[in-house]
Amino acid sequence: MTFGTLHKDYAMHSNRTKLIDIVVENHILTLSINNPPHNYLPGRFFTELDEGYRQMTGDDIHAVIITGTPKVFSKGADIREFMENQGVITEELIVYGNEVFNRIERLDKPVIAAISGACLGGGFELALCCNFRLCSERSLLGLPEVSIGVIPGLGGIQRLSRLTGQAKALELILLGDIFPAQKALSLNIVSRVFPKDNFMGHVNIFVKTLLSAKMDAIQSVISLIRQQWHVSEKEQILNSARQFLVLANKR
């Protein structure tokens, strides 16, 4: 089965309630996960997220916010469905989901996870794809998959390791720790912790402050930071110098 076929299969459910609400305002695209009460991520979520990604790439979009509801960002997969229906998560689905997450991670504009409440499993893995994770003080985060005999399958192991280092990521994942926002801040997993009151107001101020810089400079920094994953330090420095000259000569 190809990714295109998989996309069409899940798109057949379009007559059902949408799992993602999308709003664009002031060049900021906001995707809100809307599958109460737990904001679980069934297979068709990835199709909707892929459709959202296509909107993210528009030239008129300068930043993206991914969020949930005030009480839950997302608790990831529905464990009951997973345990009761063997084969509900197929190889094609998990590969497709990873590809969608990878596309979001490679986006050349700021992507912000605005986390209020529970952010667990696949929901946390989605947040880890983003450039910034902003939390309300009531948030809880974690990758508890080992507690049911599986592991994070959407890049969470690798992305968490980049942020915390291998030893701490190993500890958090193998113990299945669920930790509060302040601990996540101390571990360099999140960028800011805001009061729960008017949380999205604080998020919007953060994003608008980011966008006060020139868009080409923002994109250059994002691209150069990303190079650290696969380019030598010497080449990174040279690339930064070259990009500096390009931008300076535009002034």
- Residues acting as catalytic residues: 125, 145
52, containing H or E segment: helix 43-56
Supply φ then ψ for residue 23, to 5 degrees: -135, 140
Q: Which two tokens stand for residue 152?
A: 């994070």
Given a contact cutoff of 8 angstroms between Cβ atoms, the answer to whether 182 and 139 are in contact is: no
Q: What is the dihedral of CA 122, 169, 191, 78, to 10 degrees?
A: 10
For 155, left (φ over 0), alpha (ψ -120 to 50), or beta?
left
Q: Are 76 and 131 in contact (CB under 8 A)?
A: no
Number of helices (H) and strands (E), helices first, in the chain? Answer: 11, 10
